[in-house]
């Protein structure tokens, strides 16, 4: 079926961020077929977008989706507290059914907020059944998700390459499985030895998987560089405290980055490196990271990124001074580039998958929308998300998710959360 989004305030992000008023978007076969004024309907279902901002779906480049049922349990936590509470005490209490419930609910939460693509850095592989449940929860959500598999533990002995091969062979036999696609979430060399990191990189590259790792401080990039592991398939998460030399190494290798400015500021990782990363020409996306500490929408993340980067630039002269348009690019096309998916998502160019969001500008916090780009970044919130489309399928319409099993998903998430939370004490 074809859809025609009629007469919207369209924001496209490629080749740069521009506003096109009174513009239509035609969707055919799950892809964007045309963008322009007064497009012929030719039998398509018409969605009236008058007074609505139409833009690409947001791309969350780093989230631990399984933590959705742990919402706000570490709101006051430092990074050390979070590691002790969430990973140390709560994670071991998860059953496979809890992982399913959490991944289903976490991905639905993202869709509700207009996030159509989520990079799930999954480190809840307690057993093969946990991993299978994680993938199934994501598949049942209807979101576009990159499932990044992490070994069960951070030490060398916990690296189980046979299990990793089983997961990818079972769930992604052709390397791509509809809306859910695979990647590799690497622990090392930040956690574990360089030798283990080399083995992980070799496995990921043998399977054709992009690699993501948490990395802060002066050493991780240099250690990877020393053993020849840098490359355009590597995404660094956080990057707080990277030296200029490290930044240049990443840039020269074609690597990318994901910044989680809300979590990094709140938990004490260090100043978000948004401006410095982009100043070195490194494709940089934005991530929620964990709803155990921060909101699960991209609006709050964009505001945190804009405020942190501009404050650092003004006070210390560090990095570039981003505009609202820069931040919106990071939340869409630049985030897609960081994931190696900018040929498919991140903009409203014909030929790309039809992942988009519509925001209602008749609501108090958005009206009047003099500057739609500035309004999206500085004023919008989840309540403004009227319609969300993924691959041409409407998943939210008129401000409500259109899935029959929403009560079931909510019930599963609540039951898991109530059972798990005593383990936090």
DSSP labels for 267-303?
A: HTS-S--HHHHHHTT--EEE--B-TTTS-SSHHHHHH
Give the model confidence (pLDDT) of 4-50 as tens digits: 999 999 999 999 999 999 999 999 999 999 999 999 999 999 999 99
The DSSP call for residue 88 is I
C-alpha dihedral over 246, 223, 336, 377, to 10 degrees?
-50
What's the whole-number average pLDDT of the chain? 95
What b/e readout covers 242-275, taking b as 16+ CB neighbours within 10 angstroms? beeebbebbbebebbbbbbbbbbbbbebbbbbbb
Residues 183 and 119 sit within 8 Å (Cβ to Cβ): yes
**Residue 64 predicted with pLDDT over 90:** yes
- Per-residue pLDDT band for 150 (boundaries 50, 70, 90) equals very high
**Cis bond upstream, residue 404 (ω within 30):** no
**Residue 404 predicted with pLDDT over 90:** no
**Residue 175 predicted with pLDDT over 80:** no
**Residue 395 predicted with pLDDT over 70:** yes
How many Å is the Cα radius of gyration of the chain?
A: 21
pLDDT at 423: 67
Number of Cβ atoms within 10 Å of the Cβ of 363 = 15
Listed residue (39, 125, 60, 25) closest to 300, CA to CA: 60
Give the model confidence (pLDDT) of 157-168 as tens digits: 999 999 999 999
pLDDT at 1: 79
- Per-residue pLDDT band for 324 (boundaries 50, 70, 90) equals very high
**Residue 177 predicted with pLDDT over 70:** no
CA 239 – CA 259 distance, rounded (Å): 7
**Cis bond upstream, residue 119 (ω within 30):** no
Give the model confidence (pLDDT) of 87-114 as tens digits: 999 999 999 999 999 999 999 999 999 9
H-helix or E-strand containing 32? Answer: strand 31-36
Question: Looking at residues 189-198, what average pLDDT do you find?
Answer: 90
Q: 205: helix, coil or strand?
A: helix
Residues 36 and 401 sit within 8 Å (Cβ to Cβ): no
Span of 76-85, 167-176, 319-328 with lowest mean pLDDT: 167-176
Tokens coding 171: 């769930």
- Per-residue pLDDT band for 176 (boundaries 50, 70, 90) equals low
Number of Cβ atoms within 10 Å of the Cβ of 96 = 19
pLDDT at 424: 63
CA 340 – CA 236 distance, rounded (Å): 13
Give the model confidence (pLDDT) of 353-394 as tens digits: 999 999 999 999 999 989 999 999 999 999 999 999 999 999
pLDDT at 374: 97
Residues 340 and 374 sit within 8 Å (Cβ to Cβ): no
Q: 170: helix, coil or strand?
A: helix
Residues 151 and 128 sit within 8 Å (Cβ to Cβ): no
Give the model confidence (pLDDT) of 225-277 as tens digits: 999 999 999 999 999 999 999 999 999 999 999 999 999 999 999 999 999 99
**Residue 174 predicted with pLDDT over 90:** no
pLDDT at 55: 98
Helix H, strand E, coil C: the string for 3-23 is EEEEEEEEEECCCCCEEEEEE
Helices assigned H by DSSP within 254-404: 261-267, 274-279, 298-316, 324-330, 333-338, 372-378
**Residue 290 predicted with pLDDT over 90:** yes
> Measured in Å, how far apart are the chain's first and last C-alpha atoms?
51
Residues 66 and 106 sit within 8 Å (Cβ to Cβ): yes
Residues 259 and 283 sit within 8 Å (Cβ to Cβ): no
- Per-residue pLDDT band for 422 (boundaries 50, 70, 90) equals confident
**Residue 320 predicted with pLDDT over 70:** yes
């Amino acid at each position: 079926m074809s859809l025609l989004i009629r007469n919207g305030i369209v924001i496209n992000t490629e080749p740069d961020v521009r506003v096109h008023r009174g513009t239509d978007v035609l969707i055919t076969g799950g892809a964007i077929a045309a963008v322009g004024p007064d497009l012929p309907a030719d039998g398509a279902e018409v969605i009236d977008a008058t007074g609505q901002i139409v833009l690409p779906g947001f791309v969350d480049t780093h989230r631990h989706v399984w933590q959705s049922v742990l919402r706000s349990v570490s709101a006051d936590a430092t990074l050390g507290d979070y590691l002790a509470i969430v990973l140390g005490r709560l994670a071991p209490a998860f059953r496979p059914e809890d992982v399913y419930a959490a991944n289903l609910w976490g991905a639905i939460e993202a869709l509700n907020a207009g996030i159509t693509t989520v990079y799930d850095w999954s480190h809840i592989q307690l057993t093969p059944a946990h991993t299978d449940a994680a993938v199934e929860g994501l598949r049942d959500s209807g979101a576009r998700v990159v499932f990044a598999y992490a070994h069960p533990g951070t030490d060398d002995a916990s690296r189980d390459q046979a299990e990793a091969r089983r997961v990818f062979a079972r769930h992604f036999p052709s390397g791509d499985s509809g809306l859910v696609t695979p990647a590799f979430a690497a622990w090392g060399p930040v956690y574990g030895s360089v030798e283990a990191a080399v083995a992980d990189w070799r496995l990921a590259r043998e399977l054709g998987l992009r690699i993501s790792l948490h990395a802060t401080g002066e050493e991780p990039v240099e250690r990877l560089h020393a053993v020849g592991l840098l490359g355009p398939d590597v995404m660094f998460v956080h990057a707080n405290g990277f030296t200029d030399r490290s930044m240049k190494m990443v840039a020269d290798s074609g690597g990318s980055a994901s910044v989680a400015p809300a979590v990094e500021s709140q938990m004490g990782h260090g100043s978000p490196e948004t401006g410095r990363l982009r100043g070195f020409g490194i494709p940089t996306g934005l991530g929620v990271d964990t709803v155990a500490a921060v909101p699960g929408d991209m609006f709050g993340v964009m505001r945190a990124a804009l405020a942190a980067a501009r404050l650092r630039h003004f006070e210390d002269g560090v990095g570039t001074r981003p505009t609202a348009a820069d931040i919106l690019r990071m939340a869409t096309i630049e985030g897609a580039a960081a994931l190696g998916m900018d040929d498919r998502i991140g903009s409203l160019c014909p030929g790309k998958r039809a992942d988009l969001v519509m925001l209602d500008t008749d609501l108090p916090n958005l009206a009047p929308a003099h500057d739609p780009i500035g309004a999206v970044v500085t004023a919008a919130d989840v309540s403004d998300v009227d319609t969300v489309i993924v691959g041409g399928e409407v998943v939210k319409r008129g401000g409500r998710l259109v899935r029959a099993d929403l009560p079931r998903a909510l019930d599963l998430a609540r039951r898991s959360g109530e059972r798990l939370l005593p383990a936090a004490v």
